Structure 1
């Protein structure tokens, strides 16, 4: 009964090793000159391992981008938890959220959303990456719900919906905003921001 578990563990270790060396290669030469053979030689794995787990060169590059995206999401969640834990009022929290959303409306923010969507779309064709995104998203939503619970326990908010539901809604904002990015109306983003903050206030119901 232990043999399948050992094989699965070995497979995950191989994936981590390949992605680690692929990340170093990508940092060193960029996506245009990215060389799979060089990655294989440095990682000490067979070509079949790459194509089995990632399908092709583009899939391996996508794996690196997915890993970095998930790491960024984890850092964001932890930073948010720390900020909420130290906040003395809901208005401070909402003000910070609005500032972050305004900054995300910049051209750099739009580019980041486009890359994130492209990365997630590419990952859906590779089972190991799709599963990793799904697992991280689920755990991220639960972590955000826990962060909201911290605010509840401090008496800062009195949510009008389930904490997990609100957390999932917050998590969907980045991708949903991408549709606003496509609009030619220069005032579209301001209207989206206003509606988002109104909805957030209604969902969180600030108490102090």
Structure 2
């Protein structure tokens, strides 16, 4: 888990995060963030270098919180399931919960991060470090289930972790379609694919 930021930095990121729930990052203005947060411009520059640094730090924190929540859930399932059937039942429930239409904004924001990384080298490096940390955490949860004989042992835990994240991100393609795949049909497809990993 990432370290807790300084209280002033956290206040700025919390303000931006609240604004991101309804605005595009490009529509958020520094003066508005400072007014709402009550933090000085000098403090913003001290903690983040510039306004772009604040936006990037906030986006990374939001991304990390979402993936970490899914990873913690995977760890919890692997640690507490009492059988292979119980494990896979819970994994399917978790998978279905990450694919619901209500999570479309989270998927869109993650796609935006990938796009932002393609045009900003410093952000790309920060995102790469965070993505590696989060993917490894998820891979470790998969490896724990493999050790219990519930996931095929010849498959790479890291590859599985990347795949699990990729199909969730891929749902963003459908989120912007005029005619969307019904959630029940999408969940049925993912359920079928998950059988590949069962030992």
TM-score (norm 2): 0.72
Q: Distance in 2 between matches of 1:34 and 1:138?
A: 30
Q: Distance in 1 between matches of 2:121 and 2:141?
A: 30
Spell out, residue by residue over 1:3-60, the C-alpha distance to the aligned partner (whole angstroms, 9 max, x if none): xxxxxxxxxxxxx668534214436877463238964536274699316xx3xxxx63
User: SS in structure 1 opposite 2:92?
Assistant: helix
**What is the deviation of 1:176?**
0.8
TM-score (norm 1): 0.70
Among 156, 159, 176, the alignment partner of 2:150 is: 156
Structure 1 residue 205 and structure 2 residue 198: aligned? yes
Consecutive unaligned residues in structure 1, runs of 5 or more: 1-15
Would the alpha carbon gap of residues 44 and 178 (structure 1) be closer, same or farther in structure 2, given more than 3 Å must change?
Answer: closer
Would the alpha carbon gap of residues 27 and 134 (structure 1) be closer, same or farther in structure 2, given more than 3 Å must change?
Answer: closer
Name the stretch that deviates more: 192-201 or 103-112: 103-112
Q: How many residues end up aligned between the 2 structures?
A: 184
Q: Distance in 1 between matches of 2:136 and 2:151?
A: 18
Matched-pair contact (CA < 8 Å) for 2:64–2:130: yes
**What is the deviation of 1:87?**
0.8
Among 64, 68, 76, the alignment partner of 2:62 is: 68
Would the alpha carbon gap of residues 61 and 48 (structure 1) be closer, same or farther in structure 2, given more than 3 Å must change?
Answer: closer
Q: Distance in 2 between matches of 1:50 and 1:105?
A: 35
2:71 corresponds in structure 1 to 77
Consecutive unaligned residues in structure 2, runs of 5 or more: 21-27
Q: Mapping of 1:23-42 within 5 angstroms?
A: 23-26=13-16, 31=28, 33-35=32-34, 39-41=39-41
**What is the deviation of 1:123?**
4.6
Would the alpha carbon gap of residues 195 and 64 (structure 1) be closer, same or farther in structure 2, given more than 3 Å must change?
Answer: same
1:22 corresponds in structure 2 to 12
Name the stretch that deviates more: 179-188 or 90-99: 179-188
Spell out, residue by residue over 1:45-92, the C-alpha distance to the aligned partner (whole angstroms, 9 max, x if none): 4699316xx3xxxx6324312212213322431332122111112322
Structure 1 residue 110 and structure 2 residue 109: aligned? no
Structure 1 residue 195 and structure 2 residue 189: aligned? yes
User: Which is greater in Rg?
Assistant: 1
